[in-house]
Structure 1
Amino acid sequence: MNWEAKIITHNKEKRITVFFEKNVEFITRIKKLEGSRWSQTLRVWHLPDTIENRERFQLVPLSNSLPSDEGTEQIKKFMQWLSSKRYSPNTIKTYSEALKSFLIFYREKPIAEITNEDVIVYNNDYILKNNLSSSYQNQIVNAIKLFFTTIRGTKIEIDKIHRPKRAKILPNVLSKEEVKLILNAHSNIKHKTMLSLVYSCGLRRSELLNLKPTDIDSKRGIIIIRQSKGKKDRIVPLSIKILAMLREYYIGYKPKTWLFEGQIENTKYDERSLSNVLKQALTKTKINKPVSLHWLRHSYATHLLESGTDLRYIQELLGHNSSKTTEIYTHVSTKNIQQIKSPFDDL
């Protein structure tokens, strides 16, 4: 069918809009793409501006979309090396796809002949020319640096490859009233418990879906988060209200392998289905903000800070390696800002 895609700025965010005549099959396909949303004001479907989506909707030239035979072989070896180092499947996929993009750009050049100047040219003539994000550029740089440390006889000087400056973006935070509306939107105990657990413990989506019934320690009043980001275990406090909710859910659903299972027994609940649970809650509450599951984690951290919890404890609860990562929440906490009186009030 005929369709047209273009890049726009919607709600201060780069998005890819897709225009097409109403078609049930095409709408179903669009809905399955991660991050897809319908804009009531624009009357159009839109998706995150990622390299994958740009290629999917042909916003980036697809000519020579495969690396050279040498490049393909090296990517395989790189993936094997990452796997042997026990990098997560998501990291392996991200790094190998990023490296693939770089090696496609230099498919006519032997890998041993690639220099630091070539990295700069790639950034200017591909990343910047196609208006790709700094975070994607950072992924490319990470992949290049890691890849060239694993091969010998290269002209690349690893230490001279610089990452782009990161944009200082504040985390999105909901008010307690908004969080309460979202968490109470569902009458289904399973949906209600999943969203409540994300907020009450500040969980990442993968952390929620990887929980097992045995990770809930009701006697000690904790939840054990196993092998999360950075392959670290940590514990978070178990709310009394959440414990009561979990018991009600457990009696109704009796999960076996995973705490939250899909329709097929012993299988994890699907990530996209969880995102849809949140979308349905937002529809019921009529909250028009582009809320994601991670907003609940951000809100948890900010609300803890506003209630007087020490930043060091919040760092532990969130599983951050660096205190600098946690310090971002001091910029969105309104506790002290609200006490500042504007000179405008004295005019």
Structure 2
Amino acid sequence: MPEVLSEEEVAAIFKETKNLKHKAVLMTIHSAGLRIGELVKLKIKGIDSNRMQIKVEQVKFKKDRYTILSQRTLEILRLYIKQEKPFEYLFEGQKSTKETPVKYSKASISAILNRAVEKVGISKNVTVHTLRHSFAIHLLERGTDLRYIQSLLGHESPKTTQIYTHITTKGFDQIKSPMDSLDI
């Protein structure tokens, strides 16, 4: 079963991440359910603020897909773009130029998340992919239909998405153990 973070843990990670670019990276991954490879390939033109969507190009199975763009993430992205002025990729490496845009490194993204997780004191085995899993679980727990989650994540098979139904604890607090009703 994949590791997931609670909404409170995700919020704590974002609050702890002070660097604007780093915060924008992590928020974009979580709020859109992106894979790390999709984030580093994401181009500025893939952000559609009119439709509040992100176009993820040529991902697994060589298909494009659209996922959601959160209002909060859009606000952070606007500040980030104004400050950093990326050329082609939404997130670029330090040596990026207009003539030679360089993608942001996956290792840097992992390091950013690891530092934040450590500072917050989360003891779970958290990876960048954990943010994607957490996105799916948070949608499911808010009542989003699995078919929409499947589409947002770019899963070919519904079986891949159904794994999240085995992780969620939503509603467990409403279930009473039969043991509690026994007259013993």
Q: How does the TM-score come out when normalised to structure 1? A: 0.50
Matches within 5 A, 1:96-175: 170-175=1-6
The correspondence for 1:255, drawn from 81, 86, 107, is 86
Matches within 5 A, 1:39-54: none
How far apart are 1:339 and its partner, in Å? 1.8
Matches within 5 A, 1:190-269: 190-265=21-96, 266-269=101-104
Name the CA distance, whole Å, in 2 between partners of 1:289 and 1:278.
Answer: 13
After superposing on structure 2, the runs of 4+ consecutive aligned residues of structure 1 that deviate more than 4 Å are none
Name the CA distance, whole Å, in 1 between partners of 2:157 and 2:7.
Answer: 27
Name the CA distance, whole Å, in 1 between partners of 2:80 and 2:35.
Answer: 20
Name the CA distance, whole Å, in 2 between partners of 1:268 and 1:345.
Answer: 56
Q: How does the TM-score come out when normalised to structure 2? A: 0.93
Q: Counterpart amino acid of 1:193? A: A
2:20 matches 1:189: yes
2:8 matches 1:177: yes
Task: Note the aligned Cα RMSD (angstroms).
Answer: 1.1
The correspondence for 1:279, drawn from 98, 114, 126, is 114
For the residue of structure 2 that corresponds to 1:184, the secondary structure is helix
What residue is the counterpart of 2:151 in the other structure? 316
Name the CA distance, whole Å, in 2 between partners of 1:323 and 1:340.
Answer: 27
What residue is the counterpart of 2:176 in the other structure? 341
For the residue of structure 2 that corresponds to 1:309, the secondary structure is coil
What residue is the counterpart of 1:62 in the other structure? none
What residue is the counterpart of 1:157 in the other structure? none
How far apart are 1:198 and its partner, in Å? 0.7
Q: Counterpart amino acid of 1:201? A: A
2:142 matches 1:307: yes
Matches within 5 A, 1:2-13: none
2:124 matches 1:293: no
Q: Counterpart amino acid of 1:246? A: L
How far apart are 1:182 and its partner, in Å? 1.1
Q: Which has the larger radius of gyration?
A: 1
Count how many residue pairs are aligned between Structure 1 and Structure 2.
Answer: 178
Deviations 1:41-67 (A, max 9, x none): xxxxxxxxxxxxxxxxxxxxxxxxxxx
How many percent of aligned residue pairs carry the same amino acid?
Answer: 53
Q: Counterpart amino acid of 1:303? A: H
Stretches of structure 1 that go unaligned for 5 or more consecutive residues are 1-169
**More strand per residue:** 1
What residue is the counterpart of 1:332 in the other structure? 167
For the residue of structure 2 that corresponds to 1:260, the secondary structure is coil
Stretches of structure 2 that go unaligned for 5 or more consecutive residues are none
Larger RCO, structure (CA 8 Å, separation 6 or more)? 2
